[in-house]
Amino acid sequence: MKRIGILGVGLLGSAVARRLLAKGFEVTGYDTRREPVEALAAAGLVAAADPARAAAGADAVFTILTTPDVVEAVWLDRGGLLDTASASTVLLQMSTIGPALSRRLGEAAASRGRRFLETPISGTSTSVARGEGTLYVGGDRALVEQCRPIFDAVAGRTVHVGPVGAASVTKLAANLIGGINAIALAEALVLGAKSGLAPAELLEALRQSPVASGTVNQRGPLMVSHRFDPHIRLDLFLKDFGLMLKEGERLGVPLPLTSVAHQLCTAASAAGHGGEDLAAVITTLEYLAGIRS
């Protein structure tokens, strides 16, 4: 398996494409925006004019898209991926979506004789670019092993978590922890600032303490500097929190912290921070604390 198609080369898709290109894979990519495709062309990406051409002749195709609605349309609409991909192509769904949609895609693929795995990845686009992501895979174990060279090129770790649907739940669980940790860090920094502590000094103390974590190290500097260049856009976390709440409601599982996180991200997005990193949620907490007007 050497020829890979990627539908969606935004922040995460670009990181995945660069990993594959660096490992010698032939990668063809498509995105609705020209800029990321053109930026990857210098690294060897072959630009495709449409999704069908990105998938044509590929041994495997990743979809790395923004929302469940877009995923559903790209896969299931007339002329979509299931209509155009070759029967020999392995279809890999990397977008963060709910388990119900993932299972529906898997069933639709199976009904057409297509091979399907769900492959969401945990980590920011920056950490994925460094090869530090964790790939959660749901689906047939034998097919997972067949795709192992691809997965090893993309991620530092690959974990087969069960049947289709299990990987989507695992990714939501990981994002639940990561998202709430980021909001807890923002609260801590705002509490310190309101009491008169210098945010940079408080952050350094936290980084030297038992609460140090990837979230503290990655998002703390963004919060202190108020530079919110996106590693994962706040609006994507807002979407993910919504998916968590929907799954919790379906299962009868209360998710009170997730609900508060969803509301805070809704407020930050409404204030114009949706395209920035999740760290921008600190601005809403600063506003509520009277630090920022």
Q: Is 6 a residue whose pLDDT tops 90?
A: yes
Is residue 246 pLDDT above 80, yes or no?
A: yes
pLDDT band at 293 (very low <50, low <70, confident <90, very high): confident
Give the DSSP per-residue string, 158-215.
EEEEESTTHHHHHHHHHHHHHHHHHHHHHHHHHHHHHTT--HHHHHHHHHTSTT--HH
Q: Is 90 exceeded by the pLDDT of residue 20? A: yes
pLDDT tens digits for 81-130?
Answer: 999 999 999 999 999 999 999 999 999 999 999 999 999 999 999 999 99
Q: What is the mean pLDDT of residues 140-155?
A: 97
For the chain, report the end-to-end CA distance as a whole number of angstroms: 54
Relative orientation angle of helices 166-194 and 199-207, to the nearest 10 degrees: 130
Other CB atoms within a 10 A radius of the CB of residue 140 amount to 16
Report pTM.
Answer: 0.94
Residue 292 has what pLDDT? Answer: 81
Q: Calculate mean pLDDT across residues 180-206.
A: 97
Residues in the chain, total: 293
pLDDT higher than threshold 80 for residue 168:
yes
pLDDT of residue 1: 79
> For residue range 58-87, what is the model confidence (pLDDT) as tens digits?
999 999 999 999 999 999 999 999 999 999
Question: What confidence tens digit (pLDDT) does each residue in 156-167 have?
Answer: 999 999 999 999
Domains of the chain: 3-163 (3.40.50.720), 170-288 (1.10.1040.10)
Q: Report the pLDDT value the prediction gives residue 208, as an integer from 0 to 100.
A: 96
Looking at residue 9, its pLDDT comes to 95
- Residue 288, CA distances (Å) to 260, 278, 283, 292 in order: 14, 17, 9, 8
**From CA 244, how far away is CA 251, in angstroms rounded?**
11
Mean pLDDT of the chain: 96
